Chains A and B, each alone.
Chain A
Amino acid sequence: MKNIIRLLDRFAPVMAVVCVLGIWQAATWLFAIPSFLLPSPTSIVAAGFGVDPSVWIGHIWATLRVAVMGYALAIAIAIPLAISLSMSRLLSRTLYPMLVVIQSTPIVAVAPIIVVTLGAGDMPKVVITFLITFFPIVVSTTTGLLATPEELIELSRSLRAGRTREIFHIRLPYALPFLFSALKISTTLAVIGTVVAEFVAAEKGLGFFIAFSTSFFKIPQAFSGLVILVLLSLTLFRLVGFVQKRFAPWSLPKSER
């Protein structure tokens, strides 16, 4: 009995998904929903297999490449920026409002402008991904850097250890839980950013694939692109979670270690 309950607990998420898919499949079939409105799961899978694997790999690679580059760029810029913001009142008072303005601008609306300005190639797409990704990282990291217990800072000062060590030995590690939660959110944002960029201007990538399929009314095929996108997002998310668990397990809540 206990084993059954454990099995149920373990497979509950999978079973829920299977149920939803079953209902979806039944509904499309029962109510004869036309596939351009809502394709059935089986037709989506069929459409997915109808596309040549090498074509898939090409699109996935294009999207993954841009998403990861934008994400990496965001991390590379956000963390030093957060350190400077947390160290200097003047900087945080002058830069912070500017960051909020950037964040409040709908990137989707700016994307076409960026593409026109920066031309073709990966560059504009990386920039769009970067813009959508980096703000949560800056805000979370800054919050984390400033959340360090006052006593530890006093300990550091009483040892006359210096500002650099204070940041690298105390503040940055203390900010890691904040940083990691932002990094997780940002994986999804990075994929969104890349897809938005690909909608605007691209001849490769999953965003382009979906837009292209839709314009030819190949709705099941568009949906299959969507499925791949979701899988890509999830994989990146899990990857960051894995890195955190492997290299900074203490930064996770106890239940997740």
Chain B
Amino acid sequence: MAANPPVIRFRDVEQIFTGNDGRPIHALTGLDFEISRHEFVSVLGPSGCGKSTLLRLVSGLIHPSAGAVEIYGMEVTEPRDEIGIVFQKPTLLPWFNVQNNVTFPMRHKYGRVHKEDNERALELLDLVGLADFAQKRIDELSGGMQQRVAIARALLLDPDILLMDEPFSALDALTRDEMSFELLRIWSERPKTVLFITHSIPEALLLSDRIIVMSERPGTVREIIDVPFARPRTMQTLSDPAFTELANHIRGELFSKPAAA
């Protein structure tokens, strides 16, 4: 383990944007942490603390103002193939059916879809529980089903790293719980290094190996919490007293103001 470089590494990362009025917006500061192979790490933090920005840094869509983001020990300078992204909204293409949405990354990146890609898409649809929906139109699916399609799409190019930006926050509470357990199942069948952004403390606790709790803007790591619950996690995990205790601890962390320097 020690011999391998971490999968994702933030080295004293700082992110400053220029606002519309030309004034600098200090989004992230002093981010310094590592994520190892097949770890499931959640990021929790108040709105606007730079969680999505953190994700964009990993995906190579933006570059840090200072410090460096590394994947497998190499600095991220542009988007890389080993990353799959799932967004808050499923953002599927309404002119394609479900299967063609899943194969879209192939068509988009390489210009054509092979027979194997279609087979792979069907496999992935089976994995996310939509085996019978391959030929359906997008508007025939519920929100939860659409997000499953988006997950299958993100897995098409078999990424090592899965970045998820509040993927379930647009879903109703019941569907959301269901999707959390689905994601756990998918992750145990196809282990990946996952960076998962959420606003939900229970969701983070249920899913993660570790939780990065962030402070308000400029966002920085306030605490990294090791989640002790054994896997596989189930409904019982949710009713564990330690679960509630940890949730309360994190809630306190999130709502307390930073200590005066």
Q: Bound pair: A and B?
A: yes
Interface residues in chain A, defined as those with a beta carbon under 8 Å from any beta carbon in chain B:
149, 151-152, 154-161, 165, 169-170, 173, 176, 248, 250-251, 254
Q: Smallest distance from the beta carbon of A155 to chain B beta carbons, Å? A: 6
Interface residues in chain B, defined as those with a beta carbon under 8 Å from any beta carbon in chain A:
56, 59-61, 78-79, 83, 85, 87-89, 91, 93-95, 104-105, 107-109, 111, 137-139
- Which A residues are CB-close (under 8 A) to B56? 154
A-B contact pairs, 17 of them (CB 8 A): A151-B87, A155-B85, A155-B105, A156-B108, A158-B79, A158-B83, A159-B79, A159-B109, A160-B79, A160-B109, A161-B108, A161-B109, A169-B104, A169-B107, A170-B93, A170-B108, A251-B95
Q: Smallest distance from the beta carbon of A223 to chain B beta carbons, Å? A: 44
Q: Are A250 and B139 in contact (CB under 8 A)?
A: yes
Q: Smallest distance from the beta carbon of A201 to chain B beta carbons, Å? A: 44
Given contact pairs A158-B79, A250-B138, enumerate 6 new A-B contacts (beta carbons under 8 Å). Answer: A149-B91, A156-B108, A158-B61, A161-B109, A248-B95, A250-B139
Q: Is the interface of A mostly helix, strand, loop or mixed?
A: helix
A251 to B111, CA, bound (A): 23
A154 to B61, CA, bound (A): 7
A159 to B105, CA, bound (A): 7
Q: Are A159 and B108 in contact (CB under 8 A)?
A: yes
A157 to B139, CA, bound (A): 25
Our pick among A151, A157, A169, A176 for the contact of B89 (Cβ within 8 Å) is A151
- Which B residues are CB-close (under 8 A) to A160? 78-79, 109
A161 to B105, CA, bound (A): 9
Q: Are B107 and A250 in contact (CB under 8 A)?
A: no
A185 to B59, CA, bound (A): 42
Q: Which 6 residue pairs of A and B lie closest in terms of their CB atoms, listed nearest first?
A: A151-B87, A158-B79, A151-B91, A159-B109, A250-B94, A161-B108
Q: Are B89 and A250 in contact (CB under 8 A)?
A: no
A186 to B95, CA, bound (A): 24
A216 to B138, CA, bound (A): 60
Q: Smallest distance from the beta carbon of B22 to chain A beta carbons, Å? A: 17
Q: Can you name the residue of chain B whose Cβ is closest to the Cβ of A169?
A: B108
A65 to B139, CA, bound (A): 40
Q: Are A250 and B79 in contact (CB under 8 A)?
A: no
Q: Smallest distance from the beta carbon of B174 to chain A beta carbons, Å? A: 25
Q: Smallest distance from the beta carbon of B94 to chain A beta carbons, Å? A: 5
Q: Can you name the residue of chain B whose Cβ is closest to the Cβ of A148?
A: B91
- Which A residues are CB-close (under 8 A) to B109? 159-161
